[in-house]
Amino acid sequence: MDSFNINRRRFLHTAAATLAVSALGARGLEIVYPDTPYKVGLIGAGWYGKSDLFRLIQVAPVEVLALADPDRNMIEAAAKLVSERQKSGKTPKMYNDYRKMLAENEFDLILIGSPDHWHALQMIDSVKAGAHVYVQKPISVDVLEGEAMVAAARKYNKVVQVGTQRKSTPHLIDAKKQIVDAGLLGKIKHVEMCCYYHMRANENPPVQPVPDFFDYDMWTGPAPLRPYDKLPHTRWWRTFREYGNGITGDMCVHMLDTVRWMLNIGWPKQVTSTGGIFVQTDGKSNISDTQTAIFDYGDFHCVWQHRTWGTPPNPEYPWSFTLYGEKGTLFGSTMQADFVPLDRDAEKIHFDVLYEKEKYPEDVTEDRIELNAAPATRLHMLDFLDAVKNNTRPVADIEHGHISTASCILANLSMDLGGRPLVYDPVARKVVKDREATRLLERAYRDPWDHPDYRKV
């Protein structure tokens, strides 16, 4: 690599980091540190729960008091790692049931990294217990869960940050300011979003006994109880609509949320989607392997496309968004961004991902870490803590998380209903002139769990 490229990369890293702090507000560590460490609990001690917790430990003084997870092996391994990471060296208490953890401890912050079907109950119970919450996306598996989560955050006056950390991704913050906000795109006429990762599990494991270290009933909670066929951790649970919202709920929510942030837009006027299982038909998975969704914003459409098979049309941007404006185009992903002006004499602008391997060398050896996402998650945590300190709304406030999540859920409902357009009224909490779709805004919970009610949280 020549000296120009080295210097350019150093400049980009410095500029992006500086811009990230200024754009997201004053978030230096000195303004968010309390006199005593934050008392922290983690619900869901798997891969991403631990990843979020470790990023928090890196940027703020915390004492992780307790972890909750129904997998004894997983939680014991997580507790050991936490004791090695946190300053006190203490091993957190371990709980099978998060409700007992909340009842027996007082927390400042709760991080929720459990599967999607648990997010609503766990977030609501956590704010009721007095904690501010960082909850992973998508926030819910049905629309009315999300309404209840927003209502609970407001009623108990707690900060709830959603893990849509693209809003805290340095190179995307840079692209938003230098390209979108600066008007280089002109009027936006069309948006495309996509994911072409082969991430849909497509297996046929046999039904088998539940291992003695795993409380499958507790893990399932309010979701339907499927016959146990393997540990659901990581990819397996994501392949079933019983627990989540497929690739659209998992991956589109990030890109739609990013586009909404960049363009300052809210609820779509109408959502339409078609798709299904067209290629990967030989496994148990019941999420779509191919899907297109149109989020209609009146003046322009945001179009989502995913395939869990085949090749991406642009290998440089397999999971991404593209903003098409009158004056140019902006491509964006977790790894980079590129502005291509319509004027051939104008300069193209490239934005690189920021890594912080030198500042946080422990990132390099962390199991399954997403190195490109670590700096964004750290900034996201700082934004969360800044909102807690100042009693303000964070950049990924629960209401924004709800709009992005619910829009993706509506896309799935449209697909399920044969592709008919759905218009959601967030005031009346119903799909306009569609009783069948309105009934699907709330799914049945398994006994003895009760679906949260936005009117009674």
| Count of other CB atoms within 10 angstroms of residue 371 | 14
Closest CA to 228 of 449, 413, 43, 71: 71
For 167-199+206-367+398-439, the fitting CATH number among 3.30.360.10, 3.20.20.190, 3.40.1440.10, 3.30.70.260 is: 3.30.360.10
Closest CA to 55 of 384, 353, 394: 384
> Given a cut of 60, is residue 261 above it in pLDDT?
yes
388 contacts 132 by C-beta, under 8 angstroms: yes
> Given a cut of 90, is residue 136 above it in pLDDT?
yes
Is residue 326 very low, low, confident or very high in pLDDT (cuts 50, 70, 90)? very high
122 contacts 148 by C-beta, under 8 angstroms: no
Q: Report d(CA 131, CA 124) in Å as an integer.
A: 10
The stretch 282-301 carries a mean pLDDT of: 98
Q: Quick check: helix, strand or coil at residue 302?
A: strand
User: 355-389, pLDDT tens digit by residue?
Assistant: 999 999 999 999 999 999 999 999 999 999 999 99
Is residue 234 very low, low, confident or very high in pLDDT (cuts 50, 70, 90)? confident
The number of helix segments (H) and strand segments (E) in the chain equals 16, 16
321 contacts 263 by C-beta, under 8 angstroms: no
- The burial class, CB within 10 Å (0-12 / 13-18 / 19+), for 59 is buried
User: 102-121, pLDDT tens digit by residue?
Assistant: 999 999 999 999 999 999 99
DSSP 8-state class, residue 198: -
N-term to C-term CA, the chain: 57
pLDDT of residue 35: 74
Mean pLDDT of the residues in the chain: 93
User: 5-55, pLDDT tens digit by residue?
Assistant: 333 333 333 333 344 344 344 334 344 466 799 999 999 999 999 999 999
What number of residues does the chain have?
A: 457
The stretch 341-352 carries a mean pLDDT of: 96
Domain boundaries, the chain: 24-163, 167-199+206-367+398-439
The proportion of the chain whose per-residue pLDDT surpasses 70, expressed as a percent, equals: 93
The stretch 179-199 carries a mean pLDDT of: 98
Q: Quick check: helix, strand or coil at residue 449?
A: coil
User: 413-428, pLDDT tens digit by residue?
Assistant: 999 999 999 999 999 9
Is residue 183 very low, low, confident or very high in pLDDT (cuts 50, 70, 90)? very high
pLDDT of residue 33: 66
Return the CATH number of the domain spanning residue range 24-163: 3.40.50.720
> Given a cut of 60, is residue 395 above it in pLDDT?
yes
Tell me which residue has tokens 């979701």: 223
